Structure 1
Amino acid sequence: MGLYVLLGRGWPWREVWGLAVHRYRGSQHVGLRNIIGTLALTVALHRQPSIGHAWEEDRSDRLLETIRNGAHLHRTVAQNRWCVTLADLQQFKRLVFQAVRKGVIKPTERDQFLASDTRVGPSVYTVVDQFVKPMTRAAGNVSWALMKHPEGLLCDVFITHAWAEGIYEFVDKVTQSWPRGATAAYVCFLSYPQNLDISDLIQSPRESPFARALGSSRLVIAVPNHVCSIYSYIWCVYEAFLAFIWDKRIRAAKSPVVGWLSMLRVSCTAFATLGACILILMSQATYYGFTADFVHLVRQIRLVSIILSALCGVCIMVFFALGKHAWISCQIAILVFAVVVEMFVAADLCLNGATDPPVICVLLLSILACGAVEGDRRQSEETCRQTQELRRGFAGTVGASEKIHAFSSSPSDLQNILAEIEGHASVNAVDKVVDTLLALGLSGKELRRVTEHVGPLGNVSVWSKALFVASSGLICFQCFQVYRYRILIDTSTLHYILLGVALLEAILWPVIFLLLPVERKTFAARCLPLLLLLSPGFVGLWGCFPYDATAHFGVIPVILLITLLGPARIAQIPVLGPAAVRLVFARRPWRTKGSGTSFEATTVPMPGV
């Protein structure tokens, strides 16, 4: 069955039920398909990523067909237009890969990279010295950005990084974090003319090409690496400082997570368990008949699977709360959770049949939710790695001269930047801004205001796919329940109003959620446990009209309202607001003080272009 899913052929219902009822001897073939599918996905998860062959436009003679006057070009093209596109970055990665294969880029004493490695690659230092400088020198001492686009491209994304990361790692992280609708990005080692002396352009940090590009951007992407914190470099600190005083949004870049393969592997495991349980139960029913003893046995299996599912769910939540996403125990708990959940679904199918809509809803939700939980684990694992990379070697940046830990290859640059930062009214908040980015994975005016009101919240750059899938399915299921048990029984006006509200909520919830910025998605997802208030109806303890009215005129509208307001507005509600936000993010609700730091930036004009 896993192989069927891999090939996109869907779920072989006819084969499963045919084997279960009439041809039990063919069950080993179904099990073999599941094993092949799971093994194929496991191999795909652990293989080295492929970079691919060079394209026609990647040939060096195509890149160097026009020799330009680099000095003249960089004096006439606006500095905030020295930018490259995402396609340029991906082409650059292919070119570097080909240069490594041909021996043009070689390991050095400082950078002992492996030529066979396609995940990290040579460092930016090595690539600049052995590849960018020779290529751009042959093109007329122009930067890579203006070699590709001599007229320039207006910057709308600014990339801040430390040059210590591997080039493949860098391009992959930028690609993964590239904002929707963005056109061009300022990448210093590609935007700066490496063979020209333009030191006069950076004598004043505020008037440097870096500052001008950052002033034009709408987003700053901070790219962490496995070597050191980017905020141990003074230019990265200065870029964070400018992003703060100009109210620019900062996002920490993440590595691409091959989450869908891992999610599909868990779903294949769930499919395998479901198929095996159905085959075993139906074969026993075919042989012994649907006796009272058999029904009692199936009900016992269903009860045991419910208990085991709850225990596995608690274990998974504990692992997630402790940040132990990479532990093998957490991965095993998720696989066991998928197995026992499908045991429950198989028992439910045998008792109620495959035509009962609630059973089908539970079946689909279980498959999707099991895969989504694994997706959450992989995403959280990457977030923990990202935070560790940003913190590695970071011990504060500015504040007072005796506490400076950032460095620069140019002593004059260090002095000029420190003079400007330390002379600014917001100097004491710069470290706090960096701390916010390290803790939350994002930094922006709204998030800083939330942190000021409620204190630290943990990383808000990820949201739970499992909660979103489960909530969307439950809201749609609740809508169906209204139609089935209200409209089909009593076609009163009140019931039609209830159905209209239920349909509207089922449509609005996923649309609103998916259009939110990521930090609001995280907040909205953490509010979804409010749906547990409706659990009595899902297990059949309470299902009358007052229950449906409570769900669609009370619980679900409250969740939608909280989602629309966001954490910043809710935190401004006196007394209860900050406590509610802290509670949603699993923090101690009642505190005597906020974060204690004001994040109001002093208005500073951006440099002219």
Structure 2
Amino acid sequence: MASDNDSERGERRHTERAISLHESVSPDRWCVNWADLKYLKQEVRQAIKNGEITPPDDGSDDFLGTAENYGPSIYTVTDQHIKPITQRAGKMSWALMRHPEGLDCDVFISHAWQEGIFEFLSKVLHSRPRHARHAWCCMLANPQHLDIAAMLQSPRHSPFAVALEASTTVLVVPNRLCSVYTRLWCAYEAYLAQEQGKIILIARASNWRRVCNAMWYMALAAFVGSALAVLLDFQGWTRYVNLGVTCVAAIAGVGSMVTAKNTLRVALNFIGEVMCWYLVVEWDTVGGLYSRHPSPFLDYVAAVTQRAWIVCLAATFFLLEVDRINSEVTGWEAQQLARGYTGSIVHATCSRPEDDEAIRREIGGTVEAVDYAIQVLMSAGMSTPTLREVAARGVCIHQAANPAIALPMLLLGPFLMLTFVTLIFDSIYLRDSNPEWFARLLPLRATTVLQRVIMLLKIRCSPRDERCYIYLVIQKCATVYLAFITPAMVKCQLNGYLSYDSTSTWFLIPPIAYSTMLAFVMLGFRRTANLPCGLYLLQMFLARGFRTLFMTTTGCGAPPNEDSESDSESEIGTDTS
């Protein structure tokens, strides 16, 4: 009897200390860091291995068949792992068990509890916002052994609401079973995020395995192209064959960027890679710029530099394949987020009737605004005040949060470095051998370098939605730029040299292109929309595929699916590594 009394007194002391701890630390500081989530992942794996976490007897979570990729549900992990651990530690939440002093809240995680723990953790860890250090997650933040219901009596003053207000970003974690927005508490979190102008992001798992697979078949394409160049001998027709190969590569690149058909994009990227590596081996060096300089060293410089440009173009086709994979996976996450969602939070459910009544009373007449914020999130992959405003003005923002990176990386990375190297050679060799063109080219090339550096800094300093806009602007402007520069490349191939007569104007194309890019980059989303015909410009920048490119402004709904193939869950999968 004495032992039982001692045990009860010990339990009460634990409860009192846990209550005191949670009262002394503000709810928005009941956070964990990313290392904590990695630790939890390891601990859960070990607990499953040791038989400490098993499928519930009621059959609600038979996770053994999917333990590697998905794992037990959040419900199961909470009941069989988090509760026992925090019970022994003193009944505080898992977050305050790890950090009794609390942590500042950067990210608020919104999820449905039905997802597998590994599915959840892999998506959160992969999608954590840049510079964010700590996250608030209800299963880890709330004290599972205390009276949580008492904390939720007033939704506006609940730990959820306090933490979300303190955060800068809301990270929504989709799952394969149902939309998080079929749960009323998640809908309420969307309401708060919309009211407070928060950035809402969709979490997704890493796709590095699929990218690695892409590296293999793109490497095969490089081998095929190089082998064709070695095996085929066109003798005097080499220059004309190279011209044809260049045109095929250009068509493949443009086609890959403007089509939404998944299989066609794979084929075009493969063909483009083959063509580029054929040119790397078989390229006939174009002369002209340093032709008046006596040094034979410059002939080697021209040969190496021109092949370096082609290698960069070959790398672009690999990046286009990465873009395709990212687009595919992002689309799948959006499908998961929409699974079972009727289009309105009116139909969301809650397990406690009193919570249901309180939440609906607080949301009141803003249901349509919340529904619209969720619609923007599902369409764009992100919901921000700017995106919601632009979408409300009629611009289709489908997958705006998933910009193509191929051409931006090409222009702001290797092309920038090659231009800088060219500037150095110009300043050393061109001044004496060709002073007229030195005076023309050097300022313009230096200007394009400066413009690209400014764009890089702008990307670095901009919020996430503006960064996506910048990538989309560069992608579209670069496509037009390459379309204009291709005829000059064709002419060079035919002549065997670059024209430097007094009537040549090709050298004006790069500065004009980069000036246009920089102008729209500096304007940003909102100011571009406010330009005359600005909405149509935004529609062009955000367009995905032929249909979207030529459609009139239609709002934030996704355009019709251009690919007859449907992605299955097994094709996309979840990378939990």
TM-score (norm 2): 0.80
**Deviation larger for 143-152 or 447-456:** 447-456
CA distance in 2, matches of 1:146, 1:72: 12
Q: What secondary structure sits across from 1:409 in the alignment?
A: coil
Task: Provide the residue aligned with 1:459 in structure 2.
Answer: 399
Q: Does 1:201 align with 2:133?
A: no
The structure, 1 or 2, with the larger RCO (C-alpha pairs under 8 Å, 6+ apart) is 2
Cα deviation 1:552-573 (Å, max 9, x = unaligned): 5422111111112222210011
Tell me the distance in 2 between the aligned counterparts of 1:523 and 1:331. Answer: 21
CA deviation vs aligned residue, 1:524-550 (integer Å, no higher than 9, x gap): 233332313333333346855763563
Question: Counterpart in 1 of 2:376?
Answer: 436
Cα-Cα RMSD:
3.1
SS of equivalent residue, structure 2 residue 283: helix
Partner of 1:411: 353
2:73 is aligned, of 123, 128, 135, to 123
Residue deviations 1:214-271, cap 9 Å, x none?
Answer: 0100111111111111111101110011011111111111111105523532442244
Structure 2 match to 1:253 = 203
| 2:235 match | 294
Q: Secondary structure at the match of 1:185?
A: strand
- SS of equivalent residue, structure 2 residue 136: strand
Partner Cα separation in structure 2 for residue 556 and residue 592 of structure 1: 27
Aligned to 1:555: 513
Partner of 1:52: none
Identity within the alignment, %: 31
Residue in 2 that maps onto 1:347: 282
- Aligned counterpart for 2:535 among listed residues 555, 562, 578: 578
Among candidates 1, 22, 37, match of residue 89 of structure 1: 37
Q: Determine helix, strand or coil for the equivalent of 1:141.
A: coil
Judged with a 3 Å threshold, the aligned counterparts in structure 2 of structure 1 residues 375 and 406 are, in CA distance, closer, same or farther, namely same
Q: Cα–Cα, structure 1 residues 390 and 510, in superposed 2: closer, same or farther, change >3 Å?
A: same
Q: Which residue of 1 aligns with 2:115?
A: 165
**Partners of 1:496 and 1:340 in 2: how far apart?**
32
2:260 aligns to what?
Answer: 321
In 2 relative to 1, CA 397–506 (structure 1 residues): closer, same or farther, beyond 3 Å?
Answer: closer
Match of 2:470 in 1: 521
CA distance in 2, matches of 1:75, 1:372: 51
- String of CA shifts for 1:7-63, please: whole Å, max 9, x gaps: xxxxxxxxxxxxxxxxxxxxxxxxxxxxxxxxxxxxxxxxxxxxxxxxxxxxxxxxx
Paired residue secondary structure (1:527): helix
Contact kept? 1:211, 1:239, Cα under 8 Å: yes
CA distance in 2, matches of 1:310, 1:363: 12
Q: Which amino acid in structure 2 is aligned with residue 239 of structure 1?
A: E
Amino acid aligned to 1:340:
M
Q: Contact between 1:349 and 1:359, CA under 8 Å: does it hold in 2? A: no
Find the aligned partners of 1:375 and 1:275 in 2 and give their Cα distance: 22
Provide the C-alpha distance between the structure 2 equivalents of 1:421 and 1:592, rounded to a whole number of angstroms.
30
The alpha carbon displacement at 1:142 in A equals 1.1
Q: Once the 2 structures are TM-superposed, how far is the Cα of residue 280 of structure 1 from its aligned partner?
A: 2.9
The residue aligned with 1:536 is 487
* 3-state SS of paired residue (1:122): coil
- Tell me the equivalent position of 2:51: 103
Quick check: 1:223–1:252 contact (8 Å CA) kept in 2?
yes
**What TM-score does the superposition give when structure 1 sets the normalisation length?**
0.76
Which residue type is aligned with residue 503 of structure 1? Answer: V
Aligned partners of 2:400 and 2:542 also within 8 Å: no
Q: Once structures 1 and 2 are overlaid, which stretch shifts more, 449-458 or 302-311?
A: 302-311
* Aligned residue identity for 2:435: D
- Give per-residue Cα distances to partners, 1:164-195, cap 9 Å, x unaligned: 11111111111111122222111000001112
Is the contact made by 1:83 and 1:155 (CA closer than 8 Å) also made in structure 2? yes
Amino acid at match of 2:380: L
Gaps of 5+ in 2: 1-12, 288-298, 493-497, 558-577
Query: In the aligned structure 2, how far is the partner of 1:78 from the partner of 1:519?
Result: 34
What is the CA-CA distance between 1:134 and the residue it aligns to? 1.1
What is the rounded CA distance, in whole Å, between the counterparts of 2:308 and 2:140 in structure 1? 52
Q: Which sections of structure 1, spanning at least 5 residues, go unmatched?
A: 1-65, 285-292, 399-403, 597-609
2:213 matched to which residue of 1?
A: 262
* Counterparts in 2 of 1:564 and 1:266: CA distance versus 1, 3 Å: farther
Match of 1:230 in 2: 180
> Partner residue of 1:239?
189
Alpha-carbon deviation of 1:107? 2.0
Q: Work out whether 1:174 is the aligned partner of 2:124.
A: yes
Q: How far did residue 593 of structure 1 move?
A: 8.3
